[in-house]
Structure 1
């Protein structure tokens, strides 16, 4: 079972957006700097997130992205699904053709694990994550790091 970079980065970027929106759009450039994710990759991810109805884009000066819903209504599983990511612990992609086009001995075990992971991620929202002390400390550290970089460049 593997969650790819696409799913991880999408969740990270959405969490950054939830933490830093303060009623104003957040630019992808800001998210890119704080999270060290390429801007072009974020553009690809946010196109999918926008298509899924999780974010809305604002054009022009001061533009960027905002969440379409309250962070309490956006489950981590929704973000992962929006970027075409599937959490699947089976070797066969859930098709049941794992061994000689038939189910392997452990197919149902891995299917059950995949379902448990989906249930787990469906039960965690962006709001849940923003309320975690460790997440808030990390976000504060990231902002401080960028401020120090900006100060040293002056």
Structure 2
């Protein structure tokens, strides 16, 4: 399964909203500028996220978007399913021979488990300093 820019940029929107949760509406323009993305493209992604009940839009001069729920209750899977469709490494798993079908189902289940157990709060709180390869050297 390959996640397209729809899924990747949708996660970007949601992570930014999670980082600013409780601070009021966030404009897509500010998200687009801070990540060097197309505002128009982000607007196309915000519609399905709103229709799915993941975000709410606030109109007006100081409007923008806010999360429809707590960041701890929205998973990466929620976002990916809305923007990318069902989570599956290949199409037509049921038509595969049993050995390959078992492999594809195990891959699908592993990916689903990671996405289902990763909240946007987890992603918003992650920093580059948390990576195991981040070493501090003193001279």
TM-score (ref. length: structure 2): 0.84
Relative distance call for 1:37 and 1:86 in structure 2 (3 A) is: farther
Distance, in Å, in 2 between the alignment partners of 1:58 and 1:135 is 34
User: Alignment partner for residue 106 of structure 2, among 112, 134, 139?
Assistant: 112
For each residue in 1:46-88, what CA deviation from the matched residue of structure 2 results, as whole angstroms up to 9, or x when unmatched? 0000000000000110000000000000001001112143332
Q: Work out the number of aligned pairs and report it.
A: 129
CA contact (8 A) 1:75 1:121 kept: yes
Relative distance call for 1:17 and 1:135 in structure 2 (3 A) is: farther
Match of 2:70 in 1: 70
User: What's the C-alpha RMSD, in Å, of the aligned pairs?
Assistant: 1.8
Distance, in Å, in 2 between the alignment partners of 1:52 and 1:135 is 33
Distance, in Å, in 2 between the alignment partners of 1:106 and 1:123 is 26
Distance, in Å, in 2 between the alignment partners of 1:21 and 1:135 is 22
User: Alignment partner for residue 131 of structure 1, among 125, 132, 136?
Assistant: 125
Match of 2:52 in 1: 52
Match of 1:146 in 2: none
Match of 2:134 in 1: none
TM-score (ref. length: structure 1): 0.76
Structure 1 window deviating more from structure 2 (63-72 vs 109-118): it is 109-118
- Give 1:5 deviation, angstroms: 1.2
The answer as to 2:14 corresponding to 1:14 is: yes
CA contact (8 A) 2:73 2:119 kept: yes
- Give 1:36 deviation, angstroms: 1.8
Relative distance call for 1:135 and 1:126 in structure 2 (3 A) is: farther
Q: Please list every run of 5 or more consecutive structure 1 residues that lacks an aligned counterpart in the other structure.
A: 98-102, 137-154
DSSP 3-state at the match of 2:7: helix
